[in-house]
Amino acid sequence: MLTLVEVPVRQSTSSELSDSPSQADTDILSKSSEERQCQWPEVFDMYIPKFSVDVEYRLRQANLLRLRDGAHLIPTKELKHDILERLVETIYALKAYPTNAEFEAVASALVRAHPCLKEQGSVSGWSGWKNSLTFKMGNYRTKIRQQGHRDVTMNGGKHGKYSPFGEPPNKRIKKPKRGEVNYLPDYPDGQDDSSLEDARQLMVDEMKKKTPNGALIKQKMDLTFALRRDEVVKDKPDITLICQRWPALFTEHQVCLEFSRVVGKSVRQEFYEALDHHSPRLMEIFKAKRGPTGQVLADLMRQTKALDVTEVRCLVLRGLPVILGDDPSSFFKACFDVDDEEGSYNDVPVGILCHEQENISPHMQSLHHHTSSVGIILEGNIVMDVESLPEAMYIVFGLTYALHLNYPKYMKNTFDFFQRVLLNLGKTDLKPKLQTLKNQLAM
């Protein structure tokens, strides 16, 4: 027969009762005030934190009783408060606005780590903990909002007890939606708008030199990251203004670094690795397609002669929007006379411009393998030139994060595929077309 137990509080020594925070507490506090470094973990078990000495002692004793007698712990109000408080600190160090599924992952991991906390009255054994975590996280965001943390203060002023005339509480909440780990980070300690603006100007001046100091550019871009995110997320300036204020951001190296600052992943490495991994299966899917879609894909594949890595990447990147129902003609543009390209793409919010070699045959133009250079179009302007179509593609994808841009409507399925399937960012639920393709890739 199962019994309920109340584990007594352990008497702590004077050193344990010191006002100074523990090392674990210091780690959480430091993480909450710095940029986040990683994505939400697939399994949360390793992230269940160490609690205070007394809480750990009581849980350890209760777990032993649970193992020996099958007894359940009755958590006191204070004990439950301490557990929840520590958990939400850990959660916030990873994410300010967890999803329902992520709260469930934390609650289930807690019960696995401490079986004595399993609930007798729920089917899962942790649904009550999940509900408590949800409410506790809301209270914790209110507390840190009062401390000025920017990723939650931006959503202040919603309707509530002290602001009855504010916006509805769940309306237009600004929060990460594409897997960003640093959506709106706090300013570095000791920095303000003025000091960060000075650092930005130093970076701009350095970029005007014939040979800019790469180490200095990186240092200033790292330092001014929070200021830059504040501008692109809150103000959403025109691309021309961003080019003037942040010229270093429109280099391949800094696009990759900015993506890493925002997402915590390497866009170039992970994009290419995932693309190369899926390319053989994608080419099989292309060959199996029939009808008008199959004809377009067959034409693309006939144009591919030498199957080197770059050629295969080009083929796959051109074929993906076709099988996903996007409009690649609105995204991929071509020109022969570079001098006539300016002002010709005002109606292209996001796109890639291939400067074709003039001596290639006409049937090769649609694939854009043989190019002298590739331009990146944002809001009708050529903002960068790179060497190849695959490089342009991962840079465009990186820029959508760096500049907080919406995916172009005519390529939304393809960009969603890059995000959710290739780089495994954001929500896991997929649209039918993407889920179908993902299922086919797993066959």
- The whole-angstrom separation of Cα 406 and Cα 43 is 30
Q: Cα angle vertex 167, ends 165, 168, to 5°?
A: 105
Contact 184, 151 (CB under 8 A): yes
- Under 8 Å CB-to-CB from 250, ≥6 apart: which residues? 243, 383, 384
245-253 CB contacts, 8 Å cutoff, 24+ apart: 245/200, 245/204, 246/200, 246/203, 247/204, 247/207, 248/203, 248/207, 248/212, 248/217, 248/220, 248/221, 249/221, 249/402, 249/403, 250/383, 250/384, 251/384, 252/384, 252/386, 252/391, 252/395, 253/214
Q: What is the model's pLDDT at position 164? A: 54
Paired tokens of 267: 């866009």
Which residues partner with 4 through β-bridges? 72
- The whole-angstrom separation of Cα 109 and Cα 107 is 5
User: What phi-psi label fits residue 173: left (phi over 0), alpha (psi between -120 and 50 degrees) or beta?
Assistant: beta
Pinpoint the alpha helices (H) of 303-423. 309-323, 389-402, 412-417
Contact 335, 344 (CB under 8 A): yes
Give the predicted TM-score (pTM) of the model: 0.82
- The whole-angstrom separation of Cα 64 and Cα 73 is 11
Which residues partner with 158 through β-bridges? 167
DSSP string, 42-64: SS-GGGPPP--HHHHHHHHHHHH
Paired tokens of 344: 């010709």
Mean pLDDT per 10-residue interval, the chain, length 443 residues? 45 35 36 68 93 94 90 90 96 93 96 93 91 96 90 74 54 84 93 96 96 96 96 94 97 97 96 96 94 92 79 94 96 72 75 73 44 87 94 98 96 97 90 95 90
Q: What is the model's pLDDT at position 417? A: 97
Paired tokens of 213: 């100091």
- The whole-angstrom separation of Cα 321 and Cα 366 is 14
Q: What is the model's pLDDT at position 10? A: 44
- The whole-angstrom separation of Cα 17 and Cα 249 is 49
Intra-chain end-to-end CA distance of the chain, in Å: 48
Inter-CA distances, 178 with 200, 238, 258, Å: 27, 21, 15
Q: Is 197 helix (H, G, I), strand (E, B) or coil?
A: helix
Q: Is 37 helix (H, G, I), strand (E, B) or coil?
A: coil
